[in-house]
Amino acid sequence: MNNRLKVGVLISGNGTNLQSLIDAAKQVNFPAEIALVISNNPNAFGLSRASKANIPIQVIDHNTFEDREAFDRAIDTALKKVGCKMICLAGFMRVLSAQFVDSWPMKIINIHPSLLPSFKGINAQKQAIEAGVQISGCSIHFVTSQLDSGPIIAQVAIPVLNGDTPTSLSARILEHENKVYPIALETVVNKLLCLNPSSKSINQSETTDSLLSIY
């Protein structure tokens, strides 16, 4: 399809969720294309996944910047240079500054390994086990300046089994993350393109209320 929205994906590690997005974007009717993959970690295996799929990659190492804002500006520049209109965080292990997030309103989505609003931040699976919950899962949500607090797009519930460890629970959650992330991206992008069918741009004033109404 010709009217595909350009998406940038930010990663830090293995990139299994990136791979699920790559595989989905190969489908003829998928409404988004991955225009750039950025990693803050030069050794992230996800970079190899992107290269194998002929997707442009860029390493922007946070260690080479004096502060978080300068790092974020470099990411912003790289994404806009290739025409990205949305951002997917796929195992990106850096907290984006409020200034960066506010400059991409309702245009950044993230996947988190818990049923938000429970167990925000790092080690969510460990938090769930220590809390003794019987149900965990994953959430895809819009990113706001408040950590893991943006509007929820989709969730998948997964039972916590007797004897589960953070590692075993993480592995089961990840299987579902890989399945639901492309579906969530497709849903969001289709809604955005329907709101503005003659353009690949996204206008915040057009989308904020209408987009949330479908979830």
Integer CA distances (angstroms), 58 to 53, 121, 185, in order? 14, 26, 22
- The pLDDT score that the predictor gives to residue 202 is 40
Q: What pLDDT digit, counting tens, does each position of 37-92 carry? A: 999 999 999 999 999 999 999 999 999 999 999 999 999 999 999 999 999 999 99
Integer CA distances (angstroms), 147 to 94, 116, 157, 215, in order? 11, 11, 21, 21
- The pLDDT score that the predictor gives to residue 195 is 61
Number of structural domains in the chain: 1
Does 188 fall in a domain?
yes
- The CATH number assigned to the domain holding 193 equals 3.40.50.170
The yes-or-no answer on residue 112 being catalytic is yes
Does 215 fall in a domain?
no
Does 212 fall in a domain?
no
Does 184 fall in a domain?
yes
| Mean pLDDT in residue range 111-122 | 97
Does 213 fall in a domain?
no
CB neighbours of residue 52 within 10 Å = 10
What is the residue range of 108's domain?
5-201
- The pLDDT score that the predictor gives to residue 213 is 32
**Beta strands 86-89; 57-59: pairing state:** unpaired
Does 179 fall in a domain?
yes
Does 95 fall in a domain?
yes
- The pLDDT score that the predictor gives to residue 193 is 79
Find the catalytic residue in 62, 112, 141, 176: 112
| Residue with the two structure tokens 């953070």 | 166
Residue 95 per-residue DSSP state? P
- Whether the per-residue pLDDT at 137 is higher than 50: the answer is yes
Please state, rounded to an integer, the average pLDDT across all residues of the chain.
Answer: 91
Q: At what angle do helices 166-195 and 16-25 cross, to 10 degrees?
A: 30
Q: What pLDDT digit, counting tens, does each position of 199-210 carry? A: 444 443 333 333
